Chains A and B, each alone.
Chain A
Amino acid sequence: MGHTNYRVTEKGYYGDFGGAYIPEMLYPNIEELRNNYLNIIAQPDFQAEFQSLLKDYVGRPSPLYLAKRLSERYGTSIFLKREDLNHTGAHKINNTIGQILLAEKLGKKRIIAETGAGQHGVATATVCALKGLECVIYMGEVDIERQAPNVARMKMMGATVVPATSGSKTLKDATNEAMRDWINNPVDTHYIIGSVVGPHPYPEMVSQFQSIISEETKKQLIEHTGSPSPDYVLACVGGGSNAMGMFYHFLDDEHVKLIAAEAAGLGVNSGHSAATSVLGKEGVLHGSRTILMQTEDGQVIEPYSISAGLDYPGIGPQHAHLHKTKRVEYVSITDAEAMDASLLLSKLEGIIPAIESAHALAQLEKMTFKGDEIVVVCLSGRGDKDLNTFMKYFNL
């Protein structure tokens, strides 16, 4: 009714963003997905298996927890959507479960994926073990060194971890390597992209698989408060998959204020940041038109954040659209603010958050509440993987 349409068009666009900027070599792969994913996802047997795995294997629904002491501190009601309690410790598995079932239906025998911090790599290795499919994970050489425990997890579950040695040897290069693998293995391989990025239909498909987060949240809010609509919903954004899942069913409810926290690293203008919505310009990255951090000449800039899951140089195309249309407010949170928020949640609630998720929590410090407002924060992952960083940072 007069409001902007936030959903994807048939050609894969969200406003000016999205599309499929891919070389012809990838066209058949993408076309196969695009032509089939909606039908497959809609099939009753797909849904039955998807729902049953989410329940019995992942442990869904994840709780919506009223954080009492945190609420007292900020003077309003704060609910945490506990994606950190999922199997493998983050929201990433919602998507990999969906995509592995899709890959199976498409008759694929081999799975590839990219990973930065290793969370998506672990979630992919997990579902490959579950289904007995070959699994190859591309990971930047630099990240392999930084994230040794996750590399070990992937290997234990039978995945091959291939170091990406090109470019800056981090997440964006791992993504390039995975795309190159897919170009060279077009027939038997499915590429499980871990975020709401990449060529259409990936951003939409991953959003749909993650949308379970907001679907559950609405029902749980009714139980807690009597209404499905909170005043605020907060989530962190790297590529933006937990945020898209958290926002998905609230997009058309314009009374709900949606806030996305980006990683400002050492400060937005420090030269060591991942605050894409502030620093980025429109362009093409990994197959979609979006906002990305780049030089004047259009070379991609390597981002920085203390949290390995947020240092991606772009954001998903739907986020670019939500930013441009101002449906979602994008805010910047520094390393220090996120680390303080991690410690605060640990001490007040006995929950150690992933540093990524702590970026969303840190935004609470900057807001003022009326007292009777309802706030939902997506706690996208748990902090176990960040213990080394916490130990160094807080001298524990």
Chain B
Amino acid sequence: MNRLKQLFDKKDKDILSVYFTAGYPTLDATLKIAEELQNAGADFLEIGFPYSDPLADGPVIQKSSEVAIANGMTLKVLFEQLKSLREKIHIPVLLMGYANPMIQYGVKEFCKKAAEVGVDGVIVPDLPMYEYEELYKDDFIDNGLSNVFLVTPQTSEERIRKIDGLSNGFIYLLSSSSTTGKALNVSDEIGVYYQRVKDMKLNNPLIIGFGISDQKSFERANQYANGAIVGSAFVKTLADKDDYLAHIHDFIKGIKG
């Protein structure tokens, strides 16, 4: 049974997801960070597999990807590391990254491997609906993986409905049309957009991401959605290679209040 579904059955608000880049700040940091986040109270995790040209990302995640690649992180290495994922990690885990490394690995093989090590879902921002449906959907479904799509303030209602129909985990609601790591848009307009999507009563839970960096932005997101994702703000705290685990508890506490 998909752990994401179990989580959403149990909990429908204040869900906290945390993104971090595999192999950053050190190659072997991946599982250590995951375990620390679980202990600190994160509800699910998004582990980024790095790409040399992350065009939807701002400077913080770009930098972490660059360092991770230099550290030797590849999909092969990551799946090797994740072999022991489920020894200690019980919360849902998604992989997040760009289409090219996944295609190069082989999408079928990627999905098989991900399911094997206990991954629950995948987020690939530059894999659009049409290509997913035509080329890859069966590989995801056959391996019980949730594929997560993004929705922005500019996404039409018709398109959101289509995304909802194709989704089987949650919908990743972007706080604004921007790259990652920008400050959250707190205008009334954004509230109207959140409310509009909330009122559509979609089948999938809504998780808000991009620009969530503190308790205030986390709480605001939870007024409209089932939870929120913290990415850049967390990755920023990991820069110190010798001491990256030290601040994780405080950071998560600071978000959840």
Contact A28 B52 (CB under 8 A): no
B51 touches A299 (CB 8 A): yes
User: A282-324 interface mask toward B, CB cutoff 8 Å, 1 = contact, 0 = none?
Assistant: 1111110000101011111000000000000000000000000
Please tell me the size bucket of the interface on A: 20 to 34
Residues of A within 8 A of B125 (CB): 23-24
Asked if A284 and B74 make an inter-chain contact with CB atoms under 8 angstroms apart, the answer reads: no
Known: A24-B155, A166-B62. A183 touches B104 (CB 8 A): no
Q: Which of A25, A282, A287, A298 contacts B101 (CB 8 A)?
A: A298
Cβ–Cβ < 8 Å partners of B101 in chain A:
297-299
Contacts of A297 in B (CB 8 A): 74-76, 101, 104-105
Chain B, residue nearest A22 (CB): B126
A160-179 contacts to B (CB < 8 Å):
166-167, 172-173, 176, 179
Question: Distance in Å from the Cβ of A202 to the closest Cβ of chain B?
Answer: 14
Residues of B within 8 A of A166 (CB): 59, 62, 66
User: Chain B residue with minimal CB distance to A283?
Assistant: B100
For the side of the interface on B, what is the size category?
35 or more
Set of chain A residues within 8 Å of B127, measured between Cβ atoms? 21
Residue of B nearest to A179 (CB): B55
Chain B hits for A298, CB < 8 A: 51, 75, 100-105
CA distance A296 to B69 in the complex (A): 13
Contact B174 A25 (CB under 8 A): yes
Is B182 interfacial (CB-CB < 8 Å)?
Answer: yes
Say if the beta carbon of B128 comes within 8 Å of chain A: yes
Query: In the complex, how many angstroms separate the beta carbon of A389 from the nearest chain B beta carbon?
Result: 27
Which chain B residue shows the least CB distance to A181? B179
Contact B177 A21 (CB under 8 A): no
A27 close to B155 (CB less than 8 A): yes
Interface 9-residue window, one of B28-36, B37-45, B146-154: B146-154
A21 to B74, CA, bound (A): 21
Q: Which of A342-377 contact B (CB under 8 A)?
A: none
Bound-complex Cα distance A287 to B100 (A): 10
Pair A283/B53 contact, Cβ less than 8 Å? no
Which residues in A have their C-beta under 8 angstroms from that of B179? 25, 180, 183-184
Q: In the complex, which residue of chain B has the Cβ closest to the Cβ of A302?
A: B52
> Counting CB contacts under 8 A, is A224 at the interface?
no
Distance in Å: Cβ of B193 to nearest Cβ of chain A:
13
Q: Who on chain B is nearest to A11 by CB?
A: B130
Pairwise interchain contact B74-A300, C-beta atoms closer than 8 A: no
- A286–B51 CA distance with the chains assembled, in angstroms: 12
Closest chain B residue, CB of each to CB of A292: B100
| Chain B positions 91 through 128: 1 when the CB is less than 8 Å from some CB of chain A, otherwise 0 | 00000001111111100000000000000000001111
A27 touches B154 (CB 8 A): yes
Residue contact A22 to B128, C-beta cutoff 8 Å: yes
Q: Which residues of B contact A172 (CB under 8 A)?
A: 53
Closest residue of chain A to B99 (Cβ to Cβ) is A284
User: What chain B residues lie within 8 Å of A22 (beta carbons)?
Assistant: 126, 128
B155 touches A23 (CB 8 A): no
Are B69 and A299 within 8 A (Cβ)? yes
A158 CB-CB contact with B under 8 Å: no
Whether B100 lies near A19 (C-beta < 8 A) is: no
Q: Which of chain B's residues 53-99 have a Cβ closer than 8 Å to chain A?
A: 53-56, 58-59, 62, 66, 69, 74-76, 98-99
Judge if A97 is at the interface, Cβ distance under 8 Å: no
B178 contacts chain A at the CB level, 8 A cutoff:
yes
The answer to whether B55 and A186 have CB atoms under 8 Å apart is no
Known: A184-B182, A299-B51. A24 touches B149 (CB 8 A): yes
Please measure, in the bound complex, the distance between the C-alpha atom of A23 and the C-alpha atom of B98, giving whole angstroms: 9
Q: Is B131 an interface residue (CB 8 A)?
A: yes
Residues of A within 8 A of B149 (CB): 24
A153 proximity list for chain B (CB < 8 A):
none
Determine the distance from Cα of A298 to Cα of B102 in the docked complex, in whole angstroms: 8
Contact A284 B75 (CB under 8 A): no
Answer whether residue A20 sits at the interface, using C-beta atoms and an 8 A cutoff.
Answer: yes
* Inter-subunit contact A281/B53 (CB<8 Å): no
Given A11-B130, A186-B154, A297-B104, are A21 and B99 also a contact pair (CB < 8 Å)?
Answer: yes
**Cα(A298)–Cα(B126), bound, Å:** 14
A283 to B126, CA, bound (A): 12
Task: Say whether B55 contacts A23, CB under 8 Å.
Answer: yes
The distance from the CB of B50 to the nearest CB of chain A, in whole angstroms, is: 8
Partner of B55, one of A20, A176, A294: A176
Q: Nearest-CB distance from B235 to chain A (Å)?
A: 15
Chain A residues contacting B55 (CB-CB under 8 Å) are: 23, 176, 179-180, 183, 286
Partner of A287, one of B54, B75, B103, B126: B126
In the complex, chain B residues whose CB is within 8 Å of the CB of A184: 177-179, 182
Show 9 residue pairs from A and B whose CB-CB distance is below 8 angstroms, ordered by the A residue. Answer: A22-B128, A24-B174, A27-B154, A27-B155, A28-B154, A184-B178, A282-B103, A297-B105, A298-B105
Which B residues have a C-beta under 8 Å from some C-beta of A? 51-56, 58-59, 62, 66, 69, 74-76, 98-105, 125-128, 130-131, 149-152, 154-155, 159, 174, 177-179, 182
A residues contacting B by CB (< 8 A) are 11, 19-25, 27-28, 166-167, 172-173, 176, 179-180, 183-184, 186, 281-287, 292, 294, 296-300
Instruction: State the 3 A-B residue pairs at the shortest beta-carbon distance, nearest first.
Output: A298-B104, A298-B101, A297-B74
